[in-house]
């Protein structure tokens, strides 16, 4: 079974196990124990496999259910990110930046535009037990926004991506004016290396 299972239960011990993911054995044993749990009032299973049925059960009845596809564009949760520079407030969500952790490395403001150098970091794999579960992927984003708060340039520079087999070596650790990395891509049989240089004062990628 592959999909989402929702339980309505008064079993506090099981609820605590779910919240803390506190099950003995390997991860697949944990999932098996959840799937075979019977002490519930109601259970809904929503499958992402077209060969499996969506089901509802109360331990006495088992019913097939259908999902109203008209609701697929309704978002229950929406994340907003705002950046305040001086008196200007910039809604970063308008620029489709999906990274949760963004750090301002440097900024340059003129009468015509604002240049921003942002650093992003994210877990190499949300599943800590999976491949790259302990890794941290990161990179930089150059944003140029005009005086009307319109995005006129977007450039993303990937530095580390564990599952993408991209790793780096910092070549300028003590130089705050320059970020420079040797990037190695091992995703193919032959490794490909290149050097990335970012000027943090002008906020430009030096090619």
* Domain assignment present for 84: no
Task: Indicate whether 202 and 103 sit together in one domain.
Answer: yes
pTM over 0.95: no
Q: 51 pLDDT exceeds 70?
A: yes
* Domain assignment present for 80: no
* Domain assignment present for 12: yes
* Residue numbers of the domain that contains 104: 99-206
Task: Indicate whether 103 and 56 sit together in one domain.
Answer: no
Give DSSP secondary structure letters for 57-125.
Answer: E-SS-EEEE---GGGTT--S-----EEEETTEEEEGGGGT---SEEEEEEEEE-SSEEEEEEEEEEES-
**Would you state the pLDDT for residue 89?**
77
Specify the number of domains making up the chain. 2
Strand-by-strand arrangement of the 42-47 sheet:
3-8, 42-47, 54-57, 62-65
* Domain assignment present for 78: no
Task: Indicate whether 153 and 202 sit together in one domain.
Answer: yes
Task: Indicate whether 126 and 178 sit together in one domain.
Answer: yes
pLDDT confidence tier of residue 73, bands split at 50, 70 and 90: low
Average pLDDT of span 94-107: 80
Element (H, E) at 15: helix 12-20
| Residue pointed to by tokens 């290396």 | 193
Task: Indicate whether 37 and 109 sit together in one domain.
Answer: no
Backbone φ and ψ of 20, nearest 5°? -100, 0
Task: Indicate whether 35 and 114 sit together in one domain.
Answer: no
Give dist(CA 117, CA 115) in Å, integer: 7
**Would you state the pLDDT for residue 77?**
55
* Domain assignment present for 181: yes
Q: 95 pLDDT exceeds 80?
A: no
Give dist(CA 117, CA 126) in Å, integer: 26
């Amino acid at each position: 079974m592959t999909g989402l299972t929702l339980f309505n239960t008064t079993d506090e011990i099981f609820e605590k196990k779910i919240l803390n993911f506190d099950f003995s054995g390997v991860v697949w044993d944990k999932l098996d124990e959840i799937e075979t749990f019977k002490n519930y009032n109601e259970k809904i299973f929503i499958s992402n496999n077209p060969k499996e049925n969506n089901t509802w059960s109360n331990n006495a009845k088992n019913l097939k259910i259908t999902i109203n596809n008209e609701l697929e564009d309704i978002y229950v949760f929406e994340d907003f990110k705002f950046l305040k520079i001086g008196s200007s407030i910039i809604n970063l969500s308008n620029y489709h930046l999906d990274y949760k952790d963004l750090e301002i490395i440097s900024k340059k403001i003129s009468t015509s535009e604002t240049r921003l150098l942002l650093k992003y970091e994210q877990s190499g794999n949300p599943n800590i037990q999976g491949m790259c579960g302990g890794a941290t992927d990161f990179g930089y984003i150059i944003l140029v926004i005009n005086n009307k708060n319109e995005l006129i340039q977007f450039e993303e520079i990937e530095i580390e991506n564990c599952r993408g087999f991209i790793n780096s070596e910092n070549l300028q650790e003590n130089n705050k004016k320059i970020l420079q990395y040797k990037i190695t891509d091992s995703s193919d049989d032959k490794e490909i290396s290149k050097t990335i240089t970012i000027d943090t004062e002008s906020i430009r990628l030096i090619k």
